[in-house]
Chain A
Amino acid sequence: MIPTSFEYVRAKNLSDAFKLLGKHAKVIAGGHSLLPLLRFRLAQPDTLIDIGQLPQLKGIKKAGGGMKIGAATTYRELLESKELKALYPLIAEVTEHIGDLQVRNAGTIGGGLAHADPAADMPPVMLVLDAAFLLQSKAGKRTVSARKFFKGPFTTALKPNELLTEIQLPAPPKRTGMAYASFEQAASGYALAGAAALIAVANGMITRAELAFTGLADTPFLAPAAAKLVGTAGDELISQVAAAAVAGVEANDDIHANPVYRAHLATVAARRALTTALGRAR
């Protein structure tokens, strides 16, 4: 479990980090995703750029009706923010179950999202919240919707010379309920299948419904079937929508769950998340 040798550079500022970025460099903040890859020699970078201490990548602030989170903000810092919890209780709910205390103390939200584990808990949350990610490089900056960010297992829209610097959360609609339900793989704690849901209601009718999965397929994804709930009272339709959302998806197959069971768990998770979200919206 000894990595290949590499240069370690603690970036003094962002432009310092941009200069070092490239094909043979890896970025580290909390290190909880990267270190196992290094130790297994699955990643063999020449240079490790530590951005975990950069103040400009830290912090949670209000922005319009929404919020902005610095990419190097730790899970613990997310949990300590009362404002974040008030506006996006789903983030706190999910963060509490990421890793263990040590992981949450060191691991960062941006690091986890950029790592793009197909069974991580946070990506589906970002999808239902319709977050946007600020990507920066020497050349400038661009914003990519979370819904276009996750491309495949451990693969994102990030270019080798770019850094994910900020997570931008739009204002949630009024009278919104959010929920997450998942089934953990017993060893890793990652989701065998998990679903995040967001439902807004007005006058007893659903005005917006979002549903996203993790662990189910090769990348977290938003399920369009949730839209069928809009304009209805929800209740009876939820089970149908949960089943429709999973139908036709090519579910992952591994030693922990075959595709049939995994798809079934995803259906149950979707139903439970939608039901809880609807209850909370009301």
Chain B
Amino acid sequence: MPGRRAVLRGLGAAGAVMALGAPAVLAQAPPRVVVVGGGFAGATCARAVKRADPTVAVTLVERSPRYTACPMSNAVIAGLRDMGAQEFGYDGVAAEGVELLRGAAVAVDPQARRVRLEDGTALPYDRLVLAPGIDLRFDALPGYDEAAAERMPHAWKAGPQSLLLRRQLEAMEDGGVVVMAVPANPYRCPPGPYERASLIAHYLKTHKPRSKLVILDAKDAFSKQRLFEAAWQELYPGLIEWVSLSFGGRVTEVDAASKTLVTEFGQHRADVATVIPPQRAGAIAAAAGVADRSGWCPIDPVTFESTLQPGIHVLGDAAIAGAMPKSAFAANGQAKVCAAAVVTLLRGETPPAPKLVNTCYSLVAPGYGISVAGVYHPKDGLLREVEGAGGTSPPNAPPETRALEARYAEAWFHTITSDVFGGAGR
């Protein structure tokens, strides 16, 4: 419909709203978009497609009636926040005209353009959006399977695991040792493990001051490292020990029964252990043929369409989004860009190159926040950082700045969850 935009332009803003329904009358059948996964990426995308073109039939496939958000869940673990503040329903998404389908997508036929659900339902689509988040790899770390996670919680999907870790910390005696295992890149929420370490340290300092925290890391550097380390020095001196890859930090095996973590250099016995295992894109990605050997999904940086399967877009943590981190902020922005691209492609037009932003806050203590930001654009087939922009909070900022960023972290969570799930979603 090359002439449509020109027509809308002529009508002006008020006319455009009224004219928007017209193509549905002219078209034989409304285009169908199926979105799989109701997290920050999927729920945003479903709403945004519907908003961009109400004539598109949008179905959101999600297995849970409520979503439990990961950002801020480290504060739940540390006893600083209620789990209820992390939970959101889908009423606001449904109110926008998105059809909600409770169920799990298990297979995709890219040629026939159909998604199959666990109960056998087949959903035809013109464009499919996969936003399945992550799966924890219970085959990657010897000794760490789903049963072991009940003794050594990952708490990397917020929910019962977060509360389990919280209870274990509460039950631990003063003088105990908490051990964290952190994977190599890439994984969901790059600064998340260090925020968790900070807030557990806050809990220990406040309630069990003779205790220690050891971070066993499969990396030699991490997100916002300079800021975290300076804050640990200032707030929790002698409490946190970070063991980097070069110093034998990589965990190679765990024994859940004895809560022992084995590294290349030795063994660590824990009173409480949290093991964040390696991850990959949610299972439907591999089933749909959009995941590569890494377990993640290569995409076109303009449309987020899979480079492996045409007609299927991949968003959020599951996607290989170049320099963009696997964060809720990134997922939300990607979803809006993808939604606009999907609607544009359905009209037979070419989507313009996007620009994307990420902002991630971490709390190192109540009233002490730090952030990292970035601006991204497609370059040479990948999303790359815009040079000269982005970066972390300044290393020498005054306490008022840290307090302000802690406040903005809270505000961001409220804003983004309202944006994704809508006011009626709570």
A and B: partners? no
Residues of B participating in the A interface, judged by any CB pair closer than 8 Å: none
